[in-house]
Structure 1
Amino acid sequence: MLILLPPSESKRGRPRGAPTRLERLSFPELTGTREQVAAAVARASARPDAAEALGVSANLADDIARNTRLATAPALPAADLYTGVLYDALDLASLDGAALRRARRWLLVVSALYGAVRPGDKVAPYRLSMGVNLEGLGPLASVWREPLARVLPDAAGRGVIVDCRSSTYAAAWTPSGDLARRWVQVKVPGATHMAKHTRGLVARALCVAGVDARTPGALEKVLAPDFETALHEPKRAGQPWVLETTAR
């Protein structure tokens, strides 16, 4: 099973520690692209119009400044880096040993800066959205599309791909071929806040249940005790199954 998560806009930092070693992250094949994106975002963040270039509020000057120190900033595990509604609901720190081991294997955060990271990967705090068009590189979703297509199919294994990403991050990788038949997008009726919360609960429930579902139908059965669900088949080839999900 592969559970795809978006990053959070808010991120924790730490005052001291070793910096990120890109070659030691999961998917070392992405190192070259990670270096290119890190260099481009550092240049953009040093510009007078950095907030406009990154599509963020000028009030986020401290976050923007962190982008200029990516090579030296203390790194921390992705499990600790990302915060907010989805990650509060996921609550990795409270999982028991077996569920946490599954989370480290199954969870994958799609990142505008790092491409894809697992919970144990140590990375620096940053401010960057997949929707940004970086000078010299172009739209980041396009920059990551080919590199992620080379590494994520193997990461998916034989289980379902549970897609909890927002549309901005989903644009960076689209499962195709046989993977598309095991691709399930988690949709949540209602406001964005509740959608993030519910997706975090879904990711947590799957790690706790420990069932490596191989089909969309099997995935729905795993979640049925804790969620109201409705599973919809793809309307055409290459599109995902859609699992409408509401916490009981």
Structure 2
Amino acid sequence: MIAVLILLPPSEGKAPDGDGPAVDLATLAFPQLAKTRKALMAELARLAKGREATALEVLGLSPNQAGELVADRQLSTAPTLPAADRYTGVLYDALDLPGLRREDPEAFARAEARVLTFSGLWGVVRPTDAIPAYRCSGGVSLPKAGAVSKLWRTALTPALAPAVASGLVVDLRSSMYAGMWKVPASAAERTATVRVLHERIVDGVPKRSVVSHFNKATKGRLARALLVGDVVVGTPKELAEALQDLGLRTETAAPSKPGTAWTIDVVVDSVA
């Protein structure tokens, strides 16, 4: 049975600096994306070097985040870190790829083969891809390039087709990054979109909602468990059963129409 492919969003917050050489686009996963990556790097750097107020508005930053423009000004020369170390925040703290690299090299090797992190600047990266710090979310629309999500839909569709030609796809992306690339209809029956719902009892009635912290922490732990346990399943139903074996409460919904993915809701009712 073929191993699962895990799709993740990036983190808005990123580790600063680095100790690797400047980014080499030819060494990143899916090198056929280099042309789009190079064009976005160039426009992002021009934007960051221009009028500060304009750059902040385009990138969706507040005035007290102006310091983040420095990273975008230096994209082509800044030191790099592996994506496993660059991405931080609740989801990546729970996933803890650096910890896997130290303590469970086999699980980290599985992460390198099975985890794809989506990015407004790079399209997708694998954990060992060396990238500089940057700020460019998947929802940004640049003055010349336009909406980065649209650019990536065009570029990623052919690039990722071989990666989803077989095996189960576990989609843990947020809606913003899900908009960058849609799993093709041919893989939809093998795709599970995972949602995390926080359940509270209000006046004796269960109420469910998406709470950012619970959502991110649970997805990070879920991805880690799949890697550490070398979980290999072939269908969304089997994935739901595997998650239940890991102690998670799940509810599964079949596709509402042909060519769409399954949905697995992970219900969290305690502090994550």
Shorter-chain TM-score range: over 0.9
Q: Which residue in the other structure is 2:6 paired with?
A: 3
Alignment partners' CA distance in 2, 1:122 and 1:205: 25
| Partners of 2:165 and 2:187 within 8 A in 1 | no
1:237 aligns with 2:258: yes
Local SS of the residue matching 1:196: helix
- Residue by residue over 1:27-61, the C-alpha shift from the partner in whole angstroms, topping out at 9 and shown as x without a partner, is 00000000011111111212222100111112111
Following TM superposition, the consecutive aligned residue runs of length 4 or more in structure 1 with deviations greater than 6 angstroms are none
For residues 157 and 94 of structure 1, the distance between their equivalents in structure 2, rounded to whole angstroms, comes to 31
Q: How far apart, in 2, do the equivalents of 1:86 and 1:149 lie? A: 26
Q: Which residue of 2 aligns with 1:106?
A: 114
Structure 1 window deviating more from structure 2 (225-234 vs 79-88): it is 225-234
2:29 and 2:18 mapped to 1: Cα distance?
24
CA RMSD of aligned residues (A): 1.4
Offset of residue 15 of structure 1? 5.1
Which residue pairs with 1:24 in the alignment? 27
Is the 1:44–1:54 contact (alpha carbons within 8 Å) kept by the matching residues of 2?
A: no
Give how far 1:172 is off. 0.6
The TM-score with structure 1 as length reference comes to: 0.96
What TM-score, normalized by structure 2, do the two folds share? 0.88
User: Among the aligned pairs, what percent are the same residue?
Assistant: 42
Q: What's the offset of the Cα at 1:194?
A: 0.6
Whole-Å separation in 1 of the counterparts to 2:165 and 2:93:
27
Residues 211 and 222 in structure 1, CA contact (< 8 A), matched pair in contact too: yes
Within 5 Å, give how 1:132-147 maps onto structure 2. Answer: 132-147=140-155
Asked if structure 1 preserves the Cα contact closer than 8 Å seen for 2:185 and 2:260, the reply is: no
Equivalent position of 1:91 in the other structure: 96
CA–CA separation in structure 2 for the residues paired with 1:184 and 1:51 = 36
Task: Please state how far the C-alpha of 1:16 moved relative to its aligned partner.
Answer: 4.3
Matched positions, count: 248
Cα distance in 1 for partners of 2:150, 2:34 equals 17
Q: 1:13 corresponds to which residue?
A: 16
1:100/1:70 Cα in 2 relative to 1: closer, same or farther (>3 Å)? Answer: same
The equivalent of 2:167 in structure 1 is 159
Q: Which moved more, 1:19-28 or 1:55-64?
A: 55-64
Which one has the largest radius of gyration?
2
Residue in 1 aligned with 2:189? Answer: 181
Q: Helix, strand or coil: the match of 1:110?
A: strand
